[in-house]
Amino acid sequence: MLKNDLLLKALRGEQVSRPPVWMMRQAGRYLPDYIKLREQYDFFTRVQTPELATAITLQPVDQVGVDAAIIFSDILVIPQAMGLEVTLEEGKGPFLPHTIKTQADIDALITTSAEESLHYVMSALQLTKKELNGRVPLIGFAGAPWTILCYMVEGKGSKTWDKAKQFAYTQPLLAHLLLQKITSITIAYLKAQVKAGADTVQVFDSWAGSLSPADFKTFAQPYLFQIADALKDDAPVILFPKGSWYALKDISNSSAAGVGIDWCVSPQMARTFTQNKITIQGNFDPAKLLAPVPEIKKAVKEMIDAFGTQRYIANLGHGITPNVPVDHAKAFVEAVKEYGA
List residues near a second copy by CB under 8 A: 160-162, 165-166, 169-170, 209, 211-215, 243-246, 263-266, 269, 285-288, 290-292, 295, 318, 321, 323
Write down the catalytic residue from 5, 18, 25, 262: 25
Q: Which is nearer to a second copy, 178 or 231 (CB)?
A: 178
In the complex, what is the shortest distance from the CB of residue 260 to a second copy, in angstroms, rounded to a whole number? 15
Is 29 among the residues known to form the active site? yes
Q: Which is nearer to a second copy, 209 or 222 (CB)?
A: 209
Write down the catalytic residue from 29, 41, 120, 246: 29
What three-state secondary structure class fits 200? Answer: strand
The separation between the first and the last C-alpha atoms of the chain, rounded to the nearest angstrom, is 26
What is the rounded CA–CA span in Å between residue 322 and residue 310? 30
Where does the chain have alpha helices with state H? 6-11, 32-40, 43-48, 50-63, 77-81, 103-107, 114-117, 119-132, 145-154, 162-170, 172-195, 213-219, 221-231, 248-252, 267-274, 293-307, 326-338
Q: Could you tell me if 260 and 239 are in contact, meaning their C-beta atoms sit under 8 angstroms apart?
A: yes
Q: Which is nearer to a second copy, 51 or 162 (CB)?
A: 162
Position 121, amino acid:
V
Q: Which is nearer to a second copy, 102 or 166 (CB)?
A: 166
In the complex, what is the shortest distance from the CB of residue 99 to a second copy, in angstroms, rounded to a whole number? 16
Q: Which is nearer to a second copy, 16 or 265 (CB)?
A: 265
CA-nearest of 7, 1, 6, 3 to 260 is 7
In the complex, what is the shortest distance from the CB of residue 328 to a second copy, in angstroms, rounded to a whole number? 11
Where does 196-263 have alpha helices with state H? 213-219, 221-231, 248-252
Is 12 among the residues known to form the active site? no
Write down the catalytic residue from 5, 67, 74, 199: 74
In the complex, what is the shortest distance from the CB of residue 205 to a second copy, in angstroms, rounded to a whole number? 14
Residue 262 CB neighbour total at 10 angstroms: 20
In the complex, what is the shortest distance from the CB of residue 154 to a second copy, in angstroms, rounded to a whole number? 12
Is 271 among the residues known to form the active site? no
Q: What are the residue numbers of the active site?
A: 25, 29, 38, 74, 151
